[in-house]
Amino acid sequence: MDNTENMDFEAKRTKQADELMQLLDERRMKELQLRLEDMNEFDVAEFLSEIGDNRMPMVFRLLSKQMAADVFANFDSPEQEQIINSITDSELSAIIEELYVDDAVDMMEELPANVVKRVMRTATPETRRLINQYLNYPENSAGSIMTAEFVDLKKYMNVRESIARIRRIGEDKETIYTCFVTSADRKLEGVLSVKDLLLSDDETVIEDIMDTNIVFCMTHDDQEEAAEKISDYDLMALPVVDKEGRLVGIVTVDDVIDVMEAEATEDFEIMAAMTPSDKPYSRTSALDMWKRRVPWLMFLMLSATFTSMIINSFEDALAVQAVLIGFIPMLMGTGGNSGAQASTAVIRSISLGDTEPEDVGRVIWKEFRVAILCGVTLAAVNFVKMLMVDRMLLNNDGVTLTVAAVVSLAIVFIVMFAKVVGSVLPIAAEKLGVDPAVMANPLISTITDAVSLLIYFEIAKLMISF
């Protein structure tokens, strides 16, 4: 940390980017090449993304084979496409062979068909076979995110032989820190970490130190399940086996971070009534966004026909007691917000594995108590507020004691209904195999809107000439 000792990380990175840009502007390519080769691949990818479309492929071609592949894996698909379109077949082939299979597969899933064709044509038959095999695993399965590059050992090897093997074959493996012990027919027999190896004597036999209590998943398991196991068991890598128990790949801890980010984003999008997308916001076109948003808006808009019908059926009464109209938005808002709180809490709890369908009774009971506490608090505040603000301050004579009581009583029942429905629907969805995230604010609001109106008008009917 020599000369830049007391600079923080961001300042160093900015300084580095400025220096690189200067080298590029002054066309000092040899120096630029040396600097880039020394950097982290993530930073190189960031730098290349920023220097502009026309210079980027030229600078990319300065990189060594290994660095080029690493940087390529760090690119988003538009940059990948641009690179592919500007390099020769043999350069492309070199990159594809250097990529880990899971990165290559990620890339294939995003690229346009004609580019995929060219990539497949330049790949070696073995790589082509592997990519095709991976592309056949269901989307978002453990198989689709695993990688085939792992260290395998045999149980009759000793520690010295194992370390020698790692030193020999480790270069191309995505992780060397977890090693997998397989039988002659490729069945998984045990796992052990490099830590176990290093902390054992050279002559110890693998069979004596390997862990046979293996945490694993199947190729067709959901990627979320694989991520959860890695997180629960604090693993560096999770073995993926096929139906015959043969080890076919591993999922590494850095994949989990990507999976978790993607799954959280998906939940956020579904919970805001959007069809989820793999693409970042900045890369999504307005037309694509329209496609992902408008069907849900339309469905919810048309569902609101029920609220119209309810209001229309009370139209004459409302014309007489017009003061009641003013509190409709507040009541619907309170119902929607109360329901959203409950549904969000339960949806998140389900997705973290904290709540399961069996817990439905306990959840209802809890939300019921929360609803009474919230409902009564809100009703009391509202009652005072209507008399003090609406009646006295704003001089709205229609706000009588009875009207304030009607609105406040409605709040209690609306909050109770909203919280119970908001908590039950996500659990019901989980039970039925539907994504609980669907049962979030927009849908809950549409339901509570209609019911809030009914509760409000029925209470009004009972208490005033309505």
> Would you give the end-to-end CA distance of the chain in angstroms?
78
Tokens of 429: 């969805």
Exposure string of 345-354, with b = 16+ CB inside 10 Å and e = fewer, is: bbbbbbbeee
Are 415 and 330 in contact by the 8 Å Cβ rule? The answer is no
Please give the full DSSP string across 385-445, using - where no structure is assigned.
HIIIIIIIIS--TT--HHHHHHHHHHHHHHHHHHHHHHHHHHHHHHHTTS-GGGGSHHHHH
Judged by CB under 8 A, which of 48, 79, 101, 336 binds a second copy?
336
91 versus 359: smaller Cβ distance to a second copy:
359
466 binds a second copy (CB under 8 A): no
Judged by CB under 8 A, which of 256, 420, 425, 429 binds a second copy?
256
Instruction: Scan residues 349-378 and list those touching a second copy (CB under 8 A).
Output: 349, 352, 354-355, 359, 362, 366, 369-370, 373-374, 377-378
119 versus 238: smaller Cβ distance to a second copy:
238
384 binds a second copy (CB under 8 A): no
Looking at 51-148, list the stretches that DSSP marks H as alpha helix, in order from N- to C-terminal side: 56-60, 65-74, 77-84, 89-98, 101-110, 113-122, 125-135, 142-145
Closest CB 86 distance from a second copy, rounded Å? 25
Closest CB 126 distance from a second copy, rounded Å? 24
59 versus 407: smaller Cβ distance to a second copy:
407
Window of 57-65, 82-90, 126-134, 169-177 that interacts with a second copy by CB under 8 A: 169-177
1 binds a second copy (CB under 8 A): yes
153 binds a second copy (CB under 8 A): no
Closest CB 55 distance from a second copy, rounded Å? 22
For a second copy, how many residues bind (rule: CB under 8 A)?
133
Tokens 């009588």 locate to 400
71 versus 119: smaller Cβ distance to a second copy:
71
276 binds a second copy (CB under 8 A): no
Nearest-angstrom CA–CA distance, 388 and 8:
55
Instruction: Scan residues 8-67 and list those touching a second copy (CB under 8 A).
Output: 8-9, 38-40, 42
Are 275 and 296 in contact by the 8 Å Cβ rule? The answer is yes
136 versus 377: smaller Cβ distance to a second copy:
377
Q: Beta strands 188-193 and 217-218: pairing type?
A: unpaired
Window of 83-91, 106-114, 129-137, 279-287 that interacts with a second copy by CB under 8 A: 279-287
307 binds a second copy (CB under 8 A): yes
184 binds a second copy (CB under 8 A): no
Are 217 and 136 in contact by the 8 Å Cβ rule? The answer is no
Nearest-angstrom CA–CA distance, 240 and 217:
5
Nearest-angstrom CA–CA distance, 320 and 331:
20
Instruction: Scan residues 410-429 and list those touching a second copy (CB under 8 A).
Output: 411, 415
Choose among 74, 95, 99, 70: nearest CA to 84.
95
Choose among 99, 42, 213, 396: nearest CA to 404.
396
The burial of 39, by beta-carbon neighbours within 10 Å (0-12 exposed, 13-18 middle, 19 or more buried), is given as middle
Phi then psi for residue 93, to 5 deg, are: -60, -45
Judged by CB under 8 A, which of 125, 139, 184, 329 binds a second copy?
329
90 versus 281: smaller Cβ distance to a second copy:
281
Instruction: Scan residues 196-255 and list those touching a second copy (CB under 8 A).
Output: 198-199, 212-218, 229-234, 236, 243-245, 253-254
68 versus 163: smaller Cβ distance to a second copy:
163
445 binds a second copy (CB under 8 A): yes
155 binds a second copy (CB under 8 A): no
Are 248 and 148 in contact by the 8 Å Cβ rule? The answer is yes
92 versus 98: smaller Cβ distance to a second copy:
98
Closest CB 268 distance from a second copy, rounded Å? 5
Closest CB 113 distance from a second copy, rounded Å? 26
Which residue type does 264 have? A
